[in-house]
């Protein structure tokens, strides 16, 4: 991707509105292009400025009297318990005719008969197949990283591989894994 292609996409990229392929392309381009990286940084500054300005405006609004004005109106609109009960009954009143319960009773009796007549099933045997051993073995075929350092660690029992990102920009991450945590930097 060239600068010319990337430039019009930067605001959309910043807002996370690009589709995945373009998102990836712009992200990769921005790591290599100082001008586009700078443009993205300006967008960040602009967003921060707008946010802080809006936050300051919101802080200035006096909302202390709002609830005092709303609460009395709400209280006057709360229906009585009896009215709420009637409303509930109207909403949930059964719509079936008297034949419904009779039909239900016959159905339940038939079901019970079936259950009683059924031969007793054998006690289920435990699963003969043991649970599969977890194997999360994986490998990295290629990797590029812009963080300060990364570590690759594998947990022996399940072969689970962990790619640990240690990024000073996001703050150092404390860990206590011993030598296995040594950076691959």
Residues of this chain that interact with other proteins (CB under 8 A) are 13-14, 16, 19-21, 23-24, 27-28, 30-31, 34, 37, 40, 43-44, 132, 134-150, 152-153, 155-171, 173, 175-177, 184-185
Distance CA 21, CA 124 (A): 51
Whichever of 113 and 158 has its CB closer to other proteins, that residue is 158
Residue closer to other proteins by CB (options 50, 87) is 50
In the bound complex, what is the minimum distance in angstroms from residue 141's beta carbon to other proteins? 4
Residue 55 Cβ vs other proteins, minimum distance, rounded to whole Å: 18
Displacement of CA 108 from its chain's centroid (Å): 43
In whole angstroms, the minimum distance from the beta carbon of 18 to other proteins comes to: 9
In the complex with other proteins, the residue whose CB is nearer, 72 or 130, is 130
Exposed/middle/buried for 25, CB within 10 Å: 0-12, 13-18, 19+? Answer: middle
Strand 149-155 relative to strand 160-166, pairing: antiparallel
Structure token pair of residue 59: 């802080």
Cβ proximity to other proteins, 24 vs 84, nearer residue = 24
Cβ nearer to other proteins, comparing 86 with 175: 175
User: CA-CA distance, 75 to 79, in Å (whole number)?
Assistant: 9
Q: Whole-number minimum distance, CB 4 to other proteins, in Å? A: 19
135-140: long-range contacts (C-beta < 8 A, 24 or more apart)?
135/159, 136/160, 136/161, 137/161
Residue 100 C-beta: closest distance to other proteins, Å: 36
Q: Output b/e per residue, 111-130; b: 16+ Cβ within 10 A.
A: eeeeeeeeeeeeeeeeeeee
């Amino acid at each position: 991707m060239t600068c010319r292609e990337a430039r019009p996409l930067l605001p959309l990229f910043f807002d996370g509105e690009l589709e995945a392929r373009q998102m990836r392309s712009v992200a990769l381009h921005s790591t290599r292009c100082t001008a586009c990286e700078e443009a993205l940084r300006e967008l960040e500054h602009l967003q921060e400025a707008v946010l802080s300005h809006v936050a300051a405006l919101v802080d200035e609004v006096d909302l202390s009297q709002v609830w005092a004005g709303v609460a009395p109106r709400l209280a006057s609109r709360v229906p009585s318990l009896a009215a709420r009960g009637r409303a509930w009954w109207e909403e949930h009143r059964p719509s079936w005719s008297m034949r419904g319960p009779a039909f239900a009773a016959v159905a339940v009796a038939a079901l019970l008969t079936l259950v009683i007549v059924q031969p007793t099933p054998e006690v289920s045997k435990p699963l003969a197949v043991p649970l599969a051993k977890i194997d999360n073995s994986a490998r990295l075929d290629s990797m590029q990283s812009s963080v300060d350092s990364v570590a690759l660690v594998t947990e022996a029992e399940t072969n689970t591989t962990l790619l640990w990102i240690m990024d000073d920009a996001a703050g150092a991450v404390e860990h206590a894994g011993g030598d296995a945590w040594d950076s691959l930097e």
